[in-house]
Structure 1
Amino acid sequence: MKKPKNRTSQIGFEDFRRLARDESLSKYERIGFPDEYREGFERQIFDDIAGKLYNLQRQQQTVLDIGPGCSDLPNMLINLCERNGHSLTLVDSEEMLRQLDDRPFLSKVTAPYPDCPELIDGLSGAVDVILCYSVLQYIVLDTAFFRFLDDSLSLLAPGGQMLIGDIPNVSKRKRFFSSEAGIRFHKDFMRTADEPVVRFNQIEHDQIDDAIVFAILGRARSAGFDAYLLPQARSLPMANRREDILIQRP
């Protein structure tokens, strides 16, 4: 089966439009993952997301999903929103969004976020839940990073929450692969006797590291929001090298 580009390579909005059109790919490959990283895990992933975004458990919330893709996760969110009477807006390419069902409470915006001024203006200060999962690494490469964050924060209603989830932090990855547990994981996964190569204090171009993670926390807090760095549930496939940021408007 044809494989998508490796997620460590530079890939952006236009690349995902191409992947979404490729009928030889699975629904997980179309969003940039090998099947083994997502197949059978998405219910656990969604439960982890919903446990952090507790506003989803309330009734009649305004929800925004930035870059939902076309796997099972957005369908789980759509179904939850239907049960709880939420309004839901999905922002992604037309190629991704047309693979998701249409519902009366669901709006689809075809644009590379945050290049959607009508959406930003129309939802200003009115969104109870923003989800941006497995997307930050592409935003860092594809768009004005702090504009993405500032525009997103401007959308949050009082008490609103934003989860920037599944962040591939290269600093966290290095810490893990320098540990005994990480060395064992690498050897088992790669089926090798060689230890992983880890180099600290080295700039990694086009990668998210602790500096970017802390910059997000600092910028959100300086703008008047609470911001927290959270671990993923241990059962998730990349919990040992990825993490989440939860931002809340008081």
Structure 2
Amino acid sequence: MTKNFTQLGYEDFRDLASDPSLSKYEKIGFPDAYRDGYEDQIFADICAKATHLGRSAQTVVDIGPGCSDLPNKLINLCVDRQHQLTLIDSAEMLSLLPGGSGVEKVDALFPKCPELNERLAQKVDVIVCYSVLQYALIDTALYRFIDAALSLLAPGGQLLLGDIPNVSKRKRFFASEAGIAYHKTFMKTDQAPEVVFNRIEFDQLDDAIVLSLLQRARAQGFDAYVLPQHPGLPMANRREDVLITRP
């Protein structure tokens, strides 16, 4: 089945989650080829960056976990490590995930969950937000989303904004010799990819937005870094991560 997974929003994901004809990867907006067989590596990359997940008895929040194997791996780790885990997503997505000791499910479009935001303010050790920021750009006020997430972090807390599809990084890659060769092989074509710089990119994350997130976080007293994905991940050549920590 071929689906158009571009320009999705929160309400679209409700529908995808409820569609029995879709795979668990299609329900979260990915063709199977982009996630199937990769989620062990993806989770290892997350844990290598959000290092507090390796501790015991932490307070953990996953914003937009979806319903693939990735949140299941996080749930299992949190139960094993005796973390308190809060999953924030639509009821339709959350219904596809198992529960567990210390696992809380919150039906909400973050940050529109004021009671949770107040209850967890400055108490969260790890926030994972993986492949979600592009949808926050469409569904919410982006800086409100970031500010609300930062307000949850305890001293030393970590916010991982993972798998950011940066259109500027994508253009740089596909304008390179390596990117052109990759495109020709993947698409089975002799044609180079079309790359156009210096044009308006509606509803796309780019260098300006990614770097502004670092500036905003740092100006508010947090440390913030752009990190590459592990080269073995399926979209490492055109996506990147941001790690923000509260000193």
Instruction: Confirm or deny a common fold (TM above 0.5).
Output: yes
2:243 matched residue in structure 1: 246
Give the ranges of 4+ consecutive aligned residues of structure 1 lying more than 2 Å apart after TM superposition.
3-6
Shift in Å at residue 19 of structure 1? 0.2
RMSD, aligned CA: 0.7
Query: Normalization by structure 2: what TM-score?
Result: 0.99
Task: Report the AA paired with residue 102 of structure 1.
Answer: G
Task: Report the AA paired with residue 31 of structure 2.
Answer: P
Shift in Å at residue 4 of structure 1? 3.4
2:4 matched residue in structure 1: 5
1:72 matched residue in structure 2: 69
2:82 matched residue in structure 1: 85
1:168 matched residue in structure 2: 165
The number of aligned residues is 247
1:106 matched residue in structure 2: 103
Shift in Å at residue 145 of structure 1? 0.8
Shift in Å at residue 5 of structure 1? 2.4
Shift in Å at residue 202 of structure 1? 1.4
CA distance in 2, matches of 1:191, 1:170: 22
Among 118, 122, 131, the residue aligned to 1:121 = 118
Task: Report the AA paired with residue 18 of structure 1.
Answer: D
1:211 matched residue in structure 2: 208
Secondary structure of the structure 1 residue equivalent to 2:125: strand
Q: Which runs of 5+ in 2 are unaligned?
A: none
2:151 matched residue in structure 1: 154
CA distance in 1, matches of 2:227, 2:64: 21
The answer to whether the 8 A contact 1:4-1:19 is kept is: no
CA distance in 1, matches of 2:32, 2:175: 27
1:200 matched residue in structure 2: 197
Shift in Å at residue 200 of structure 1? 1.2
The answer to whether the 8 A contact 1:89-1:106 is kept is: yes
The answer to whether the 8 A contact 2:79-2:101 is kept is: no
Task: Report the AA paired with residue 210 of structure 1.
Answer: D
Task: Report the AA paired with residue 30 of structure 1.
Answer: K
Task: Report the AA paired with residue 48 of structure 1.
Answer: D
2:218 matched residue in structure 1: 221
Identity %: 64
Secondary structure of the structure 2 residue equivalent to 1:201: coil
Among 215, 231, 237, the residue aligned to 1:234 = 231
2:24 matched residue in structure 1: 27
Secondary structure of the structure 2 residue equivalent to 1:124: coil
Task: Report the AA paired with residue 156 of structure 2.
Answer: G
CA distance in 2, matches of 1:12, 1:110: 15
Secondary structure of the structure 2 residue equivalent to 1:153: helix
